[in-house]
Amino acid sequence: MNKMFENALPVLKRLEEEGFSAYFVGGCVRDLLLQRHIKDIDIASSARPEDVQRIFPKTIPVGIEHGTVIVRHDSVSYEVTTFRKEDEYKDYRRPSKVWFVDDLKEDLSRRDFTFNAMAMDTSFQLIDHFGGREDLKREQIRTVGDPNLRFSEDPLRIMRACRFMSVFNMAIEKKTIDAIKEKAHLLKRISTERISIEFIKLLQGEQAGDVLEFMKKTSVLNHLPTELQEKQNERYKDFHWNTLETDEQRWTAILLLSDVSNGRAFLKSWKLPNHMIKKVGELKAAYHIDAWSKMDLYHYGLEMALSSITLKSAMEKKDYANVKEQLHQRYSEIPITSRKDIPIDGEDILEITNREPGIWLGKLLEEMEKKIVDGELTLNTSTLKDWVKRWEP
Ligand code: ATP
Ligand code: MG
């Protein structure tokens, strides 16, 4: 059995010793069957949060109101969630009430898609009430129960269906597609932040281009935070989304492909955090640098420079591995990473020159920094002091 499941087994066994039932559930079981990388192991149990906290020495109460407690075991975190049954969804955000039921099947039935609604017991026997394994084999996405009902309950599931389609390279079952068309308008009620998270995960998938096209046809794009529908063009479909490495690259690609004039406003409408908006702004500027000077590299840093080349490769469908190598080389020749690495500072300069502080000092520092970066001045205290003495404003 997979090592991650083996490592988690003692947690389930311990719960059983205490008289509770416990199962591996959700994404980890799906990813095991798909032989994909398993991110984390989730456990569902009849034990209540207070039981879990009592039984295990190290726990973190992350979402008691949803019945979730993190158990730390051998330095790994496991989310243990009490079996749940949700009654109606009132505000399209969170279930209005969570009941704890002692029934695994009930818990699995509230999950979104058949392949996310499987469990595995402590002997690694699969529990599959809704045909998840069969759907994985047929590579099809199907909701647990009536898709119209399930999408009405929680329209975010529409975005999740698109995400799984893109990432797992799967098709969506016909009835589920019809329900997506019918319920897409409900996405307006989902918070933009949650939609953004699913949207960017979708762009990581192999099928991102096709799925964007699918979202256009089913009018899902119409109900996303911005006017992506009008912006979306052929270039989206052919773009090699899965060659990108980071979310800032993905958002920058969206901007570049869509000819958005006000990038900041566009990203704000997706409710992206400020640090992301800032990074996208920098990456977009870096992307437009054609020949990287040492000073550019020093200013943006190696990581941002390489990131812009990855983006360029995807935009132009060219392999720029050699450019990346050159940048690595050029960057390694720059003797400093910031002004702090220069052995003399403003105070030393005032002392050497015997001048009153003024704007000249900033100019001198800037010039000295540039000469060091370009290799015209060596990073040696007496050399720098001599240069300062000779400097003329
Ligand atoms: P990832 O690989 O991104 O972690 P995941 O399927 O594990 O994908 P999570 O958001 O971690 O997604 O959710 C864990 C499980 O909870 C899912 O496998 C699914 O069973 C259930 N789930 C998550 N979101 C929903 C939802 N909106 N409606 C119903 N069930 C959901
Ligand atoms: Mg998960």
Please state the pTM of the whole predicted model: 0.84
Give the C-alpha separation, 173 to 117, whole Å.
16
* Residues flagged as binding site for ATP: 27, 30, 111, 154, 157, 160, 163
Quick one: average pLDDT of 261-272?
89
Report the C-alpha gap between 88 and 154 in whole angstroms.
Answer: 10
Q: How confident is the model at residue 261 (pLDDT cuts 50, 70, 90)?
A: confident
Domain boundaries, the chain: 1-133, 139-243, 244-334, 339-390
With CA atoms as reference, report the closest residue to 146 among 120, 170, 182: 182
Tell me the CATH architecture of domain 244-334.
Answer: Up-down Bundle (1.20)
Which ligand is nearest the CA of 27, by number? 1
Q: How far is the CA of 39 from the centre of ligand 2 (A)?
A: 7
Average pLDDT over residues 198-225: 90
Listing DSSP states for 173-221 in one string gives -HHHHHHHHHHGGGGGGS-HHHHHHHHHHHTTSTTHHHHHHHHHHTT-G
CB neighbourhood size of 10 (10 A): 12
Q: pLDDT by residue (tens digit) across 147-183?
A: 999 999 999 999 999 999 999 999 999 999 999 999 9
Please give the CATH topology (third level) of the domain spanning 139-243.
Answer: Hydrophobic Seed Protein (1.10.110)
Residue 253: Cβ within 10 Å count: 24
Q: Report the share of the chain in percent with pLDDT over 70.
A: 94
Pocket (CB within 6 angstroms of ligand 1): 26-27, 39, 111-112, 116-117, 154, 156-157, 160
> Residues 71-118: pLDDT tens digits?
999 999 999 999 987 654 555 555 555 555 568 999 999 999 999 999
User: Per-residue confidence at 239, pLDDT binned at 50, 70, 90?
Assistant: confident
Candidate of 32, 42, 116 to mutate for ligand 1, largest count of ligand atoms within 8 Å of Cβ: 116
Residue-averaged pLDDT of the chain: 91
Mean of pLDDT values over 247-276: 90
Give the residue, out of 32, 111, 162, 164, with the most ligand 1 atoms within 8 A of its beta carbon, to mutate for a pocket test.
111
Residues belonging to the binding site for CTP are 27, 30, 111, 154, 157, 160, 163
Residue nearest to atom 28 of ligand 1 (CA): 112
Taking the centre of ligand 2 as the mean of its atom positions, its distance from the CA of residue 209, in whole angstroms, is 24
Give residues with Cβ within 8 angstroms of 293, minimum separation 6.
none
> Does the complex come out with an ipTM higher than 0.95?
yes
Give 1-133's CATH code, choosing from 3.30.110.40, 1.10.10.10, 3.30.460.10, 3.40.50.150.
3.30.460.10
Q: What's the CATH number of domain 339-390, 1.10.246.80, 3.30.70.20, 3.90.1170.40, 1.10.540.10? A: 1.10.246.80
Pairing of β 76-82 and β 42-45: parallel
